[in-house]
Amino acid sequence: MNLKHPAVPYVLPFVVFIGVLALQSLVPVPVSVRLVLSLAAIFAVSLPALQGRSSKPILSILLGLAVFAIWVGPDVLLPNWHHFILFDNGIMGHPAGNTPPASKGDPIFLIIRIAVSVIAVPILEELFWRGWLMRWLIDSHDFTRIPLGTYAPNAFWLVAVLFALEHGSFWDVGLITGIIYNWWMVRTRNLWDCILMHAVTNGALAAYVVVGGHWQYWL
């Protein structure tokens, strides 16, 4: 791999994270490994792509909370919603979560798992989906010439759909989330606004999982 390629800061952390998840389906991988490898990849290659700061922090936080409400809303209103065949099947997976029963009361595990959700995932996913892929789909030869947040219908909707599919049985709320995150990138043209919004969504969801015992959301 050419580590000097301009896509590396945006893509490598995501590839590392997905690789660890794929490995976990074969052998047990401690959640601490997932956190350390993801952060190591971010610090090793992604810092140049993470310059700057949020331009609309308050609105980003509020939108993050709104997306959290959208994420859990269907199951609150209709408790069996994600057990319908459209969501619970052999292709999309099952809304059961993958947290080991023994870890649900382990404070060290929970702290690390929350850190994965709130710190690592928002950074590596926003770098990949909205920092790189939305631009690469517009110009695969030189995505760097495309400013962050540039709107092109095909890129916007394809990223939203792929983001939804990444979330398995929760693809429906994942699609809405992808649309909102993409829209916010188009509106702000600021990667940190999307990272902050994503972190707030994941933080609220983590609290909902741990306090309420809704472990199905931790896939």
Task: Confirm whether 7 is domain-assigned.
Answer: no
Q: What is the pLDDT of residues 81-135, one digit of tens each?
A: 999 999 999 999 999 888 999 899 999 999 999 999 999 999 999 999 999 999 9
What percent of the chain is modeled with pLDDT above 90? Answer: 93
Phi, psi angles (nearest 5°) of residue 164: -65, -45
Task: Confirm whether 25 is domain-assigned.
Answer: no
Q: Give residue 90's domain range.
A: 53-217
Residue 193: Cβ-neighbour burial (10 angstroms; 0-12, 13-18, 19+) = buried
Q: What is the pLDDT of residues 122-170, one digit of tens each?
A: 999 999 999 999 999 999 999 999 999 999 999 999 999 999 999 999 9
Angle at 46 between CA 138 and CA 176, to 5 degrees: 50
Task: Confirm whether 186 is domain-assigned.
Answer: yes
List the one residue out of 16, 10, 215 whose CA is nearest residue 113. Answer: 215
Distance (Å, rounded) from C-alpha 85 to C-alpha 27?
29
Residue 4: band (very low, low, confident or very high) from pLDDT cuts 50, 70, 90: confident
Distance (Å, rounded) from C-alpha 15 to C-alpha 63?
27
Distance (Å, rounded) from C-alpha 52 to C-alpha 193?
10
Task: Confirm whether 44 is domain-assigned.
Answer: no
Quote the pLDDT of residue 1. 60
Task: Confirm whether 138 is domain-assigned.
Answer: yes
The reported pTM is 0.96
Domain count across the chain: 1
Quote the pLDDT of residue 148. 98
Task: Confirm whether 212 is domain-assigned.
Answer: yes
Residues 6, 143 contacting (CB under 8 angstroms) = yes
Instruction: Flag whether pLDDT at 24 surpasses 90.
Output: no
Task: Confirm whether 169 is domain-assigned.
Answer: yes
Task: Confirm whether 104 is domain-assigned.
Answer: yes
